[in-house]
Every structure is written in structure tokens, then in C-alpha cells.
Amino acid sequence: MAVENGKADYGIVPLENFYNGEVRETLDSLTECSQTKIIEEKVMTIVHCLGTLKNSKEIKKILSKDQALEQCSKYICENYPNVKTIATSSTAEAVENIKEKAMTDAGAIASEEALKSSGFNILDKDICPKNKTRFIVLSRKISEKTGDDKTFLVIHPPIDKSGILYNCLKTFSDSDINLELIQSRPNREKGYYFYIELSGHKEDERVTKAIEKLQEYLDPKEEYPNTIKILGSYPNSHWKE
Amino acid sequence: MAVENGKADYGIVPLENFYNGEVRETLDSLTECSQTKIIEEKVMTIVHCLGTLKNSKEIKKILSKDQALEQCSKYICENYPNVKTIATSSTAEAVENIKEKAMTDAGAIASEEALKSSGFNILDKDICPKNKTRFIVLSRKISEKTGDDKTFLVIHPPIDKSGILYNCLKTFSDSDINLELIQSRPNREKGYYFYIELSGHKEDERVTKAIEKLQEYLDPKEEYPNTIKILGSYPNSHWKE
């Protein structure tokens, strides 16, 4: 919102985690913006560790941010099947809570640095291997073409036609445009928003024409606002490779 | 898991909320099951209320289960923009925490009954209107045809072909099968699982043939297990109507 209303030049928010999938709050917020564009993607490797206080006994509960608990759920199930998980507002808060309350029966999932700097014992390192999160950089400017770009758009079909998603995908397939991500979110009515990330810059002729064709199919008289909203074009980081 | 390993005859889990969309834990768990089938869907209207202790002052924090906080995020932003939200493991726990610690600066989001039975004041009723959650009933049996059924399946494309989802949707479109839900989840490798709910029972000839055609396209030599897994056929409740 700070980028949208001009209080900040740039913002950075998580879009997708390798294990958890898309970040819903980000998708929902992007739908509400009109000025804000995605100008870049940045990938960060996330190394979760499990730590306890030095004098701790058997672990009966594990504290961490909800997303971190989800990402590590396989590890927790396999290694601490009977432990209670408690969500905190950040991984740092998990560490602080345990320290402040001198909880000797609790573990925290956080980064190695956060655990060490609070004097915790590290019981296990990188408990959710290969974990990474894709962040997007937001701005009110637009990124220029680099020749290897992606475009992110949100489609809000004005009428609940049957087979809408199929026809959207067909338009891109017919234009030989590769899709990198497809997601849907309920629109708080009976329908859905569809989020599509495709290969190519929005100024590439192939992309421009496909989007025109899609607009023609979904809302030929342009009666509805934001039937197709382009959320930005930006260089492809090939983050999953 | 209780249904899967025979410890329970039936289970019931949430699949989708009108506001939040699909429940990821349910989709991920269904993928891991081999015996468990969906035999019925049940829709529950969810009426969230905001309550406080009788002697409470200005609200500085709101406690509730994370999903309830998400569902009510619009209401909270509009009415309590500067309030801190705190996730608890259930809505009941939010009410108990406030009562136990005699928090006079906190509100709980819960059902009217839960708030009243703990002697709370109700500040606002039904703060997330039209809210409902679709639950699914699980069993190791299979539901019989009723003539108005749906089938839920999860597709795990063995090879990362381009345009896989498009071709899956094309198969159903060509067979005149209507799709009710499409979702994707990362598969903890580079690919995705696709969840599809379609109109028709798995024993309907049209559905059987479309699934055979899809299998032929995705994995013609049947080299991979669970390329297409049918998670059940069950009566259509038309829950969004």
C-alpha cells in the first residue's frame, strides 16, 4: 500500500515459496492495486534450523512463524510427532518468547544466526532442504525489455462462462506463449480471479496480441474495469532451475 | 490418516472456504492417501462475531484462529486498522486466553455461542457475511451414482511438458465435462500437482473415457504411479449457489 499511495518508491513482498506455494496476501493485495507494478523478482534461500535454550529438557512444543511451521511440517511429523506447534508473528518472536519465558520444554524454528545470537543450542540445521522463496520488487515505474522477461497478469472474468480458464489457456497456447504459473483465488462473490505468469514482456508483439484476443473473448465491449490487469513485466530469474 | 489406516470409518475435513479458497493441508493430505475417498460434501455457514470481556476498554489486539483472522481481514482493516492480530490454535482458545488472563484490551473473533457462554459482550455480529466452508466426508468406501455427482482428482504429471494444464483442460472440454474447481500445489520438486473437481461420477462413461484419454496423454505406458488419482465421486451440493 505504501508503494500504491506514493509513500514508498519501492516495496518487496514474498510471492511464492517452493514448498508452500503462492502467498495469498500478496495475490489479493496486487488485485487491489492500480499504480503498483512488479519490476523484478528476487529469490532467497531459506535455511530453517531448530534450536533450544542451553539448559532445555525434552521438547514439548515448537514455536515459529506459521509459514515456517508449514514448511517444516514433514520434519516435525517425522521427528517430533507428539509436539505441539505454536505460531508466532515472526521467527524472531519465537526465539524471544522462549528466551523471555525461559521455556526449557520448547524449540524454536529460525535462522542459525537468530538462534545463535540468543545463545540457543542448534539441534538440527536446514530442516527443510532446498527451501526458497521468490520475492517481487514493486514500484510505480515499469521495467524495460531485456529479451528474457515474464509478465504477470490477473484476469477477472466479468461473467461466469463455463470453460473460461480453458479458453484463457488456449489463447496463450495458440500464440505459443509458455505459462510459468497459474493460480486462482475466490473473488468474494461466486467467481474467481485467475493469476497467470507468462514468458515474454508485455510489449512483445506476441504477448500484446494474445492479451488483446483474450480481452475480446472475455469482455468485447470493454464494459468492465480490470477484466485483465497487467501487474508488471520483469526479467526472468529462472528461479526453480 | 485415521481413515487411511483404518482407525476410523469416517472423517470430515474442510476443503474450501468461500473467502480464503482451498485448504492446503487437506489437498496435501489427500495426495498422500491411497485408501481414502471423498464420499460426500457438507457446507457449513460460518458466522463470526467480535466480543470482549464485559469490563473491557479500548481494543488493542484481536485474537482468533488464523483462518478466521484472514476471513475477517476486511472488517478488521476497516474498523480496527491499528489493532494487532494474534493467531491462536482455535477460536475457542482465543476466548479462553482473554478470559484467563483478564485481558481488557483484547477482542476475540468466535461464534456467538462461544462468546456468550464465556460471558463476553458481543460488539458486532456476522462480521464476515456470506461466509461458508465446504467440508468433505472421507471413508474407504465409494459413493454410488445419484445422477448429479462430482468427481475429484489429483493429477501429477510425470514429466514437465509445456502446456500440461492446458491439455488436461482441453481433454475435459472436448468431452463436454464441466470443471468446478482447479487448483495447483507445488510437489516439493520443480513441478506441480493439479487438483480438478469435475461434474459427473467416475463411472459415467463420459468421465471414464476422458480420464483414459488423459492417462494416455500424460503417461501412455503407465510407467508412473498415481499420475491420475481419483479421490472420490459424490453428490453435488451446488454449494456456491
pLDDT at A52: 98
How far is B69 from chain A, CA to nearest CA, in Å? Answer: 12
Number of domains comprising chain B: 2
CA A118/CA A225 separation, integer angstroms: 51
Residues A35 and A66 in one domain: no
Domain that holds residue B225: 11-44+134-235
Q: In whole numbers, what is the pLDDT of chain B averaged over residues? A: 93
Residues B138 and B211 in one domain: yes
Bigger pLDDT: B66 vs A116: A116
How far is B167 from chain A, CA to nearest CA, in Å? Answer: 9
Residues B172 and B105 in one domain: no
Record: contact B186-A66, CB cut-off 8 A: no
pTM of structure = 0.84
pLDDT at A85: 93
Residues A55 and A39 in one domain: no
pLDDT, tens digit (0-9, with 9 covering 90-100), for A1-12? 899 999 999 999
> Which residues, in sequence order, are CB contacts of A216 under 8 Å at separation 6+?
none
pLDDT, tens digit (0-9, with 9 covering 90-100), for B130-182? 999 999 999 998 899 999 999 999 999 987 666 888 889 999 999 999 888 88
Residues B141 and B227 in one domain: yes
Residues A17 and A80 in one domain: no
The DSSP secondary structure of A62-120, one letter per residue, reads: EEEEHHHHHHTHHHHHHH-TTPEEEEESSHHHHHHHHHHTT-TTEEEEE-HHHHHHTT-
ipTM: 0.79
- The answer to whether the beta carbons of residues A186 and B18 sit under 8 Å apart is yes
Is residue B18 within 8 angstroms of chain A, CB to CB? Answer: yes
Q: What are phi and psi of B12, to 5 degrees?
A: -140, 125
Cβ pairs bridging A and B (under 8 Å) = 69
Smallest CA–CA distance from B162 into chain A, residue: A178
Nearest to A183 among B89, B184, B241 (CB): B184
Residues A19 and A55 in one domain: no
Q: Tell me if B2 is assigned to some domain.
A: no
Beta bridge partners of B197: B152, B181
pLDDT at B19: 87
CATH assignment of the domain containing B166: 3.30.70.260
The answer, yes or no, to whether residue B6 has pLDDT greater than 80, is: yes
Q: Tell me if B6 is assigned to some domain.
A: no
Domain finish residue from B130, B147, B165: B130
Smallest CA–CA distance from A20 into chain B, residue: B186
Residue A236, SS3 per DSSP: coil
Residue A121, SS3 per DSSP: strand
CA B237/CA B219 separation, integer angstroms: 33
Residues B35 and B139 in one domain: yes
Q: Tell me if B197 is assigned to some domain.
A: yes
Is residue A83 within 8 angstroms of chain B, CB to CB? Answer: no
Residues B138 and B226 in one domain: yes
Is residue A20 within 8 angstroms of chain B, CB to CB? Answer: yes
A positions 137-166 inside 8 Å of B (CB)? 162-163, 165-166
* Cβ neighbours of B66 in A, within 8 Å: 66, 87
Q: Tell me if A166 is assigned to some domain.
A: yes
Residues A142 and A111 in one domain: no
pLDDT, tens digit (0-9, with 9 covering 90-100), for B191-233? 889 999 999 999 999 999 999 999 999 999 999 989 999 999 9
CA A37/CA A24 separation, integer angstroms: 17
How far is B220 from chain A, CA to nearest CA, in Å? Answer: 22
pLDDT at B161: 67
Record: contact A173-B184, CB cut-off 8 A: no
Residues A76 and A103 in one domain: yes
Is residue B20 within 8 angstroms of chain A, CB to CB? Answer: yes
pLDDT at B189: 79
The answer, yes or no, to whether residue A160 has pLDDT greater than 80, is: no
Q: Tell me if B241 is assigned to some domain.
A: no
Record: contact B163-A186, CB cut-off 8 A: no
CATH assignment of the domain containing B54: 3.40.190.10
pLDDT, tens digit (0-9, with 9 covering 90-100), for A178-202? 888 888 888 877 788 999 999 999 9
Is residue B43 within 8 angstroms of chain A, CB to CB? Answer: no
Residues A57 and A124 in one domain: yes
Average pLDDT of the residues in A79-98? 92
Record: contact B163-A178, CB cut-off 8 A: yes
* Cβ neighbours of B89 in A, within 8 Å: 86-87
Q: Tell me if A240 is assigned to some domain.
A: no
Report CA Rg, chain B. 22
* Cβ neighbours of A185 in B, within 8 Å: 21
Domain finish residue from A130, A149, A165: A130
Q: Tell me if A1 is assigned to some domain.
A: no
Euclidean distance between the first and final Cα of chain B, in Å?
Answer: 32
Average pLDDT of the residues in A49-60? 96
